[in-house]
Structure 1
Amino acid sequence: MTELHLWLRHEARSTERRTPVVPDDARRLVEAGAELTVEDSPQRVFPTREYEAVGARIVPPGAWLSAPRDAVILGLKELPDEPARLTNRHILFGHAYKQQPGAPALLRRFAAGGGVLLDLEYLVDDAGRRLAAFGFWAGYLGAALAVLQHRGRLTAPLLPTGRDELDETLRPAPGDAEFTALVVGALGRSGRGARAAFATAGVDPARWDLAETLDLDRAALLAHDVLVNCVLATTPVPPFVREEDLDDPARRLRTLSDVTCDVGSPLNVLPVYDRTTEWTDPVRRLRKEPPLDLIAIDNLPSLLPRESSVDFSADLTPQLLDFGVGGPWGRCLDRFHLASRELGLTKGESGRG
C-alpha cells in the first residue's frame, strides 16, 4: 500500500458513537504498513484500548489540530467550527457539494489552509456506485423509528442499542393496529434496510423506486399511513410532499420518516421542514389536525453503532489499503476540486492534489 499515516479522530458530535474503522480492521491496516494514530474517545462504541492492542498510537481527543501535514484525518460527521484553516487531507461525510447550508464556509476553510476534503459520499467505483455506506442501517432505523412512533412506543431521548434489543421492540404486540406503509427509494441500500425493519415489524410496505417517482402519484403517496423516504437525489426533481399537501383534507399520512435529510438543499424531495430532529427530541409535529409527525435524524446508524460500524469498516478498509491519488480516491479529489471551482476558488487555493 502507499505509505499512509491515518489519524482516526474523536467525533465532536456527542451522539456519534460510530467509527469508520473498527479494531479488527485497524489491525489489518497496521499489519499492511500503515501508521495509525487514534484519538481517545469515550463515546466511541469500541474502547480505545482495543486500538492500542493492535498497534495504534493513542492521543487525546482533538489532537488532530496539531497532526503532521501528511496525516490523513479520518472521521464521519462534521468538523468543529475551528480552526479556520484546514491543512490536512480529511476523509468524512462533508455534505458540501449539494448547496447545503454551511457548505461554502467548509470548502473555504480547506482553501484557506491548502487542505483537501475526500468526501465519503463520493467514494465510488467506475460505475458511480458507493464503495462504503451506512445506507442499510440508516434505512433500517428510519423505518424502525417510524413504526415505533406510529404504534405509540417511541420514547425520548433515543439511546444507542443493539439489533436484537431493537427488534424485540419492533415485533408486533397484541392490540397493535394494522397500518399501511410506503418506502420510496425501495431498491437502494437504505430502501432495503427500511424493508427489512418493516418485515421485522410485521408490515409489508409498498415499494416505490425510480419508475414510480418519475410519474409521481401524490394522492397515492398521501394515502399511506407511514412514509419512509430513502431517495438520495443527485439532480433536482419535483418534491414528493409539498407544503400544500400537509393541509390536504384527504391526507391519510400520519408519520413521515426522512432518512435522506437533505434539508436546506435544492435537491430536497421533502421541502416541508427546515431543520432536522435530534436524539433528545426525535419527533416534530408538522400538523396538529389531522396529525402528521416528522422524524429526520441525520446520524441514524449511530443508534446501532456496533453493527453499522462493523459493516462500514469492512467496506472502507480495502479502500484505505489501496489509498492513493488515483481510482476512487482520485474521483473524490476531482469532485472536491470541481466544488471549489464552482465557488470561484483558484486551483492553488482549493487544496493540494
Structure 2
Amino acid sequence: MSTIKLGLIREGKVPVDRRVPLTPKKCVEVQQAWPQVRVVAQSSDIRSYSDQEYRDLGLAVQPDVTDCDVLMGVKEVPVAQLVPNKTYLFFSHTVKKQPANRELLRQILQKNITLIDYEMLTNGRGERIVAFGRWAGIVGAYNGLLTYGRKHGLYQLKPAYQCTDLDDMQEEYFKVKALPPIKIAVTGSGRVAQGALEVLEKMGLRRVSVYDYLYLDFAEPVYTQLRSSDYNRRRDERVWDTPDFHQHPGEYESTFGKYLPVTDLLIACAYWHPEAPRLFTEADTRRPDFRITTIADVTCDIDGSIPTTKRSTSIPEPAFDYNPATGELEPAYSRPANITVMAVDNLPCELPRNASRDFGRQLIDNVLPHLFGGDPEGVIERATIVRNGQLTPRYEYLRDYASEAAPVAAAH
C-alpha cells in the first residue's frame, strides 16, 4: 500500500488564525488508525500548537510541504501559496459566490487543484459533520457577558483570547455573580446556540421557560432559549411548520417585538436567511419600551437579522455602540443610552487550542474514514467543489462566478 502524505499547512490569511485542523495528538491518532498515512506539519510561528509540540510526538515539521499529496488547513489559502496539482481541504467560502474569494476559485481551477470544502461535508441527512459552531457560541456568549459587564461597570472579565484555554476562561465565570436580575435571550437551536447555552449554564445562571421569561419578574438573572417558532409567524397566520419556514422564509414575519420590553442582553445565535424577517427594525430601537442595552451578535450577518450590526468587529476591539437617536455607530461604551454590539466574526479563534481539538475529533470520526476509505457514502464527493481543475457537476453553478474577471486593483 502506497504512503499518503498529509500536510498541515501554515495559515496564511490575515488577520492570523491560530487554529489547526489536527493537533499533535490527533496526528498520531491518524497515523495509528491509517498506517498508510504519514502526517507532516508545515513550520509555523502563529499556530496555537508549537512546532516543538509536533516534534515531541515524533511528527515531521518542515518549512515546505509541496511533497505532500493532501494539504489541510483551516481558512482560505492565499492565492500565491496555492500549490498546483494538489488536493486541499479548507473553508473556501466560495459556494455562495463570495466576491472576495472569486480569484481563489479561479486559481484553484487554473492550477489543476482538487478542493474539498469543510463547509460542504455532510452526512446522508444533509447535516454538517465538521464545524466550529459550538466554539463560536461559547466565545460569543462569554463576550456578551463581558460586554454587558463593561457597559454597566459591573465587572471586568479577561478577554477570551487572553485565556490559555477553556478551563482558564471558566475561571472568570464567578465574576458574573455581580449581575443584577437581568433577562438574557439566546436565539437559535443549532450548534452555536448550544455552545452559548453551555456557558450560561456553567456560569450558574437560571434557565426559565419562554412564558415565564415574558411574564414573570425574577430576583436573579435569568435566560431563555428562543427557537424560530418563538419569534416568527406566517403572515397568513397558518399553523407553525418548521420545514415550511426553512423553505419559504419570506412568507413569515417577526414577532420578536414582544421580547424587546423584557430583554436586557440579546445573544443572537440563529442562522438567518436573507429572505427571513429581521428580529426588529432600527425604528424599534427608538421605542420607549426598547430595553436591550447589549447585543452579542454571534451570527454576525452584516445588516442581517440584527439591524444594528452594521459592521463586524475584531478580537482585540470586539464592540461598538449604536446610537438609536441618530442611527450612527460610535465607539463602544460612549454613552448609556446607546446599544453596545459585540460582532466578532471569527469567534472560535479566541480559544484556538480547544476549537482545534474539537475539530480534529470531528475530522477523525466523520471525515477521514471516507477520505482514506473509498468514500462509498459519497461524503467526500458531495464536498468536492473542484476535481483536478474542473468544477464537479454539483458545483457547476459556480462557473459564471469563477469566469468573471477579477476586480482590478486601484493604482496608488
Q: TM-score band, normalised by the shorter chain? A: 0.7 to 0.9
Matches of residues 336-347 of structure 1 in structure 2 within 5 Å? 337=392, 338-344=394-400
1:277 equivalent in alignment to 2:313: yes
Distance 1:101 1:233 in 2: 20
Aligned residue among 88, 91, 94 for 2:92: 94
Matches of residues 1-353 of structure 1 in structure 2 within 5 Å? 4-12=4-12, 13=14, 15-31=16-32, 32=34, 33-60=36-63, 63-64=64-65, 67-68=66-67, 71-83=69-81, 87-152=85-150, 153-154=156-157, 158-173=161-176, 175-185=178-188, 187-203=189-205, 204=207, 205-215=223-233, 216-223=254-261, 224-233=263-272, 236-263=275-302, 268-287=304-323, 290-318=337-365, 319-323=367-371, 326=375, 327-333=378-384, 337=392, 338-344=394-400
Distance 1:42 1:85 in 2: 21
**TM-score normalised by the chain length of structure 2:** 0.73
Which residues of structure 1 form unaligned runs of 5+? 348-353
Q: Secondary structure at the match of 1:322?
A: helix
Assess, with a 3 A threshold, how the Cα gap between structure 1 residues 88 and 22 changes in structure 2: closer, same or farther.
same
Q: Secondary structure at the match of 1:98?
A: coil
Q: Secondary structure at the match of 2:344?
A: coil
Task: Report the alpha carbon displacement of residue 271 of structure 1 after superposing the two structures with TM.
Answer: 4.7
Task: Report the alpha carbon displacement of residue 259 of structure 1 after superposing the two structures with TM.
Answer: 1.9
State the structure with more CA Rg: 2
Is this contact kept in 2: 1:157–1:280, CA < 8 A? no
Distance 2:298 2:48 in 1: 22
Q: Secondary structure at the match of 1:183?
A: strand
Q: Secondary structure at the match of 2:140?
A: helix
Aligned to 1:350: none
Is this contact kept in 2: 1:36–1:57, CA < 8 A? yes
Task: Report the alpha carbon displacement of residue 145 of structure 1 after superposing the two structures with TM.
Answer: 0.7
Task: Report the alpha carbon displacement of residue 15 of structure 1 after superposing the two structures with TM.
Answer: 4.5
Q: Secondary structure at the match of 2:321?
A: strand
Distance 1:14 1:334 in 2: 25
1:59-78 Cα shifts (integer Å, max 9, x gaps): 22xx45xx24x722211123
Task: Report the alpha carbon displacement of residue 188 of structure 1 after superposing the two structures with TM.
Answer: 1.4
More deviation in 143-152 or 28-37?
28-37
Which residues of structure 2 form unaligned runs of 5+? 151-155, 208-222, 234-253, 324-334, 404-412
Query: What letter is aligned with 2:139?
Result: L
Query: What letter is aligned with 1:24?
Result: K
Task: Report the alpha carbon displacement of residue 344 of structure 1 after superposing the two structures with TM.
Answer: 2.1
Distance 1:23 1:286 in 2: 43
* Aligned pairs, number: 338
Task: Report the alpha carbon displacement of residue 178 of structure 1 after superposing the two structures with TM.
Answer: 2.4
Assess, with a 3 A threshold, how the Cα gap between structure 1 residues 289 and 2 changes in structure 2: closer, same or farther.
farther
Assess, with a 3 A threshold, how the Cα gap between structure 1 residues 128 and 178 changes in structure 2: closer, same or farther.
same
**Alignment root-mean-square deviation, CA:** 3.0
Task: Report the alpha carbon displacement of residue 332 of structure 1 after superposing the two structures with TM.
Answer: 0.3
Assess, with a 3 A threshold, how the Cα gap between structure 1 residues 71 and 261 changes in structure 2: closer, same or farther.
farther
1:249-268 Cα shifts (integer Å, max 9, x gaps): 4321122112223438xxx4
Assess, with a 3 A threshold, how the Cα gap between structure 1 residues 221 and 110 changes in structure 2: closer, same or farther.
farther
Is this contact kept in 2: 1:29–1:321, CA < 8 A? no
Task: Report the alpha carbon displacement of residue 131 of structure 1 after superposing the two structures with TM.
Answer: 1.3
Is this contact kept in 2: 1:179–1:225, CA < 8 A? yes
